[in-house]
Amino acid sequence: MTENFQQGRLVEKIQAAKDVVILRVSLPNIQQKKYTAGQFFMLALPDMHNKSGFLVKKAYSVATCCAKHYEDYIEFCIRYYENGELSPKLARLKVGDTILLDGPYGKFTIDPLTKQNLVLLAGGTGVAPMMGFIRQILNEQMKNPILLLYNTKTSKDLLYKTELEEISNDVSNINVVFSLTQDGKESGKGSAEKGRITLAMIKKYCKDKDLNNKEFFICGPVEMIRELKQALLDAGVEKSLIKIDVW
């Protein structure tokens, strides 16, 4: 991966949860900076270098898509940790500050011509690339049945909750189901679950029970990805139909 950082500027910062900020970053020639929903950029700050003199960098998935509505910025979800090397500094940035971007990279993408049903499985900030997918699907008016199962600890940790609920209620082929592991139920289009995402939960919300006419996209904690991928394989889903994005 060759470094080719460009200077971006923070144009908006949203406190999305107690430990998550959404950063919207503008590039000087953003129209020429093409990317595909689901890809990621390496983010860095101009004054942060490691002991070897290289920029401290971290990969973050894009939560937007290359549509006219998002031509002014690229959006990222940043979960920050008190002892983190880069994330707390990203979270403290102010509008107008400089961010360095290198990318896009990655093959965690949706073929806009696919005829398959799409099942999106997200945990925590793993919802970021799924938001890119959903925004792409809406922009390209894809008619495939879409199911998003999105798991967080509590309702306060749900990112994009209002936007996802509105989409789920207004768009007939997109169903969003929230699942919470530590507190009560929250719903999108009347659907709600408690606990971690399971194979039984996936089957419950799929309109038909044939798992091999679907493509699965999984993004979240490593353990979640490992468990869901193995559960799908054990259920007979072809490996080629399962795509993962590991943090």
Q: What is the pLDDT of residue 225?
A: 96
Whether the per-residue pLDDT at 28 is higher than 80: the answer is no
pLDDT at 34: 81
Could you tell me the sign of the dihedral formed by the alpha carbons of 137, 77, 16, 152, in that order? positive
Rounded Cα distance between 11 and 3, Å, is 24
pLDDT band (50, 70, 90) for residue 30? low
Contact present, 71 and 112 (Cβ < 8 Å): no
> Each residue of 46-85: pLDDT tens digit?
989 888 888 999 999 999 987 666 778 999 999 999 899 9
The DSSP code sequence of 190-212 is TBEEESS--HHHHHHHSSSS-GG
Supply angle C-alpha 161, 23, 188, rounded to 5. 10
Query: What percentage of the chain has pLDDT greater than the value 90?
Result: 73
| pLDDT level of residue 132 (50, 70, 90 thresholds) | very high
Quick one: angle between helices 127-139 and 161-170, nearest 10?
A: 40
Whether pTM > 0.85 for this model: the answer is: yes
Count how many residues are written for the chain.
247
Is it true that 6-105 and 117-246 share their CATH fold? no
Q: Is 184 left (phi over 0), alpha (psi -120 to 50) or beta?
A: beta
> What is the CATH code for 6-105?
2.40.30.10
Give bridge partners of residue 107 from the DSSP assignment.
none
CA–CA distance, 5 with 171 (Å, rounded to integer): 38
How many Cβ atoms are within 10 Å of 19's Cβ, its own excluded? 16
User: At residue 32, does pLDDT exceed 60?
Assistant: no
State which amino acid sits at residue 28. Answer: P
Asked whether the predicted pLDDT for residue 190 surpasses 80, the reply is no
pLDDT of residue 15: 97
**Residue 247 confidence (pLDDT):** 67
pLDDT for residue 148 = 97
CATH 3.40.50.80 is right for the domain spanning 117-246:
yes
Burial, 68: exposed, middle or buried (Cβ in 10 Å; 0-12, 13-18, 19+)? Answer: exposed
Place of tokens 């929250």: 186
> Average model confidence (pLDDT) for the chain?
90
Q: Read off the pLDDT of each residue in 122-141 and give the average, rounded to a whole number.
A: 95
Q: Per-residue pLDDT for 188 more than 50?
A: no
Tokens encoding 171: 């768009």
Mean pLDDT calculated for residue range 9-31: 89
Domain boundaries, the chain: 6-105, 117-246
Whether omega before 221 lies within 30 degrees of 0, making that bond cis, reads: no
Task: Give me the mean pLDDT over the 11-28 stretch.
Answer: 94
Q: Which residues contact 102 (CB under 8 A, 6 or more apart)?
A: 3, 4, 5, 6, 41, 42, 44, 57
